[in-house]
Amino acid sequence: MRPLLSNSQRMIRAFRILLFPFSLLYCLVTSIRNALYNSGIKKSTAYPVPLISVGNLTVGGTGKTPLTELLIKTLTPDYNCALLSRGYGRKTKGPIHAKDDASPSTIGDEPLQIMQKFPDLTVMVAEKRTRGMDYLLQLNPPPKVILLDDAYQHRAVSPGLSILVTDYYRPIYKDFCLPAGNLREPLAGKKRADIIVVNKCPHNLSETEKDKILRKLKPTAQQKVFFSTIGYDYLKPLKSTDTRELFGKENKPVLAVTGIGNPAPFFNHVEGYTKELEKITFPDHHDFSDTDIKKINAKLEKMGPDSIVITTEKDAVRLRHKNLPDSLSKKIWYLPIELKILFNEQNTFIKTVKSYVEENSGNSNVS
């Protein structure tokens, strides 16, 4: 017997049915576009430098940023690396080489987060990746490895290693094209990936469940599939230099504030800090306005003097650049995250990436 649907679920299902014809049209258009690139009618430029693309098939958060950070940690000890991103959410236009005075409005929140974590990394944002590539390769010295952020559908640049990130809780094989579904292109697009990472898995994912996902995912013989989970570090204060663990806060009322693509795993983790949890959600890459800040502050005051805000690492990047009242900023904490490859395959993943870089770097591989 099928479970009964709630009113909201029925409305969503009906709305998706209404949008289905538009999804068919969207699938057709994106399929034609891919066919033009596959046939060479539309040009895809290759470059004489190792290019690693990290992207996804769906809209919303799949955890690309922590995977990109893992790649940077892996490669920067031996290579002069650069990150090329569109800089989603920024208010500027054209190619920008990020400097120390960068902000979310000039380069976007995710590039800024990565730049702050890896100050020696060259960070470039450009809507047209080809313009960004031309700029990077004219630097002296030019980067030896370039990471392309969220570039799976940006086919004007041809990556040497393409990594597709999917969400365990929102499997692509159960999805459909926009606007009825969340896919940016038909599922057949997954065949372009060299590596598929099923991210946000439970840390105790079983071999049985892993095999079940592999059967449904149907990777090609050449594709390597890894499973990963998101690990959370200790809570850290938003603006204070005090990086000690937040002791004694577990029983305080918590207001969870997010502006990310898929906040469900974050909320699930934050529930472990408190018995009294309230939530405020904003769209992905949301630029917090003065009205938003007042809303957060008013909600926090209503929850009592001991209440605190817990937010995501990406949201913290944007909140730091806002004019927050001191009474609010000192109550805001964020959760740093780190991606971990499951089933003792992290070394295999790293070896796969490094092997590609070494094989495509010639004699000038090490910076």
Angle separating helix axes 64-75 and 109-117, nearest 10 degrees: 30
178: its two tokens: 């926009």
C-alpha angle 149/155/158, rounded to 5°?
80
For 103, the 3-state DSSP assignment is coil
The DSSP bridge partners found for residue 163 are: 54, 195
**In this prediction, what percent of the chain has a pLDDT beyond 90?**
86
Is 57 in contact with 166 (CB distance < 8 Å)? yes
Whether residue 302 has pLDDT greater than 90 = yes
Does the annotation flag 366 for ligand binding? no
Distance CA 277, CA 271 (A): 7
What is the per-residue pLDDT for 363?
A: 46
Average pLDDT over residues 5-33: 83
The answer to the question of whether 317 is labelled as a binding residue is no
CATH class of residue range 236-335: alpha beta
Q: 225 among the known binding-site residues?
A: no
The residue that leads in pLDDT, 16 or 3, is 16
- pLDDT tops 80 at residue 20: yes
Taking all residues of the chain, what is their mean pLDDT, rounded to a whole number?
Answer: 92
- Amino acid in position 248: G
User: Are 51-231+340-358 and 236-335 the same fold in CATH?
Assistant: yes
What are the tens digits of pLDDT across the range 163-212? Answer: 999 999 999 999 999 999 999 999 999 999 999 999 999 999 999 999 99
Write the CATH number of the domain with boundaries 51-231+340-358. Answer: 3.40.50.300
Contacts 24+ apart (CB under 8 A), 248-252: 249/273, 249/308, 249/333, 250/274, 251/275, 252/276, 252/306, 252/307, 252/308
Mean pLDDT, to the nearest integer, of 296-303? 96
Q: Measured between alpha carbons, how far is 56 from 146 in angstroms, rounded to an integer?
A: 18
Q: pLDDT grade, residue 262 (50/70/90)?
A: confident
Is 208 annotated to bind ligand? Answer: no
pLDDT of the residue at 13: 72
Strands 96-97 and 122-125: antiparallel
The answer to whether the annotation marks 68 as part of a ligand binding site is no
Query: What pLDDT does residue 60 have?
Result: 80
Which pLDDT does position 242 carry in this prediction? 57
pLDDT of residue 246: 53
pLDDT of res. 14: 77
What pLDDT is attached to residue 2?
43
What distance in Å separates the CA atoms of residue 115 and residue 136, rounded to the nearest whole number?
16
In the chain, pLDDT over 70 holds for what percent of residues? 92
- Annotated ligand binding at 59? The verdict is yes
* Overall residue count recorded for the chain in this entry: 367
pLDDT of residue 244: 53
The DSSP bridge partners found for residue 334 are 236, 311
The answer on whether 281 is annotated among ligand-binding residues is: no
pLDDT digits (tens, 9 = 90+) for 200-213: 999 999 999 999 99
Q: Delimit the domains of the chain by residue range.
A: 51-231+340-358, 236-335
